[in-house]
Amino acid sequence: SQQGEEDPQALSIQEGENATMNCSYKTSINNLQWYRQNSGRGLVHLILIRSNEREKHSGRLRVTLDTSKKSSSLLITASRAADTASYFCATDGDNQGGKLIFGQGTELSVKP
Nearest to 75 by CA among 29, 38, 106: 106
Contacts of another protein in 29-88 (CB under 8 A): 30-31, 33, 35, 37, 40-45, 48, 86, 88
Element (H, E) at 32: strand 31-37
Cβ distance to another protein smaller for residue 19 or 105? 105
How many angstroms separate the CA atoms of 65 and 92, rounded?
Answer: 14
Q: Which is nearer to another protein, 3 or 79 (CB)?
A: 3
Contact positions toward another protein, by CB under 8 A? 2, 30-31, 33, 35, 37, 40-45, 48, 86, 88, 90, 92, 97-102, 104-105, 107
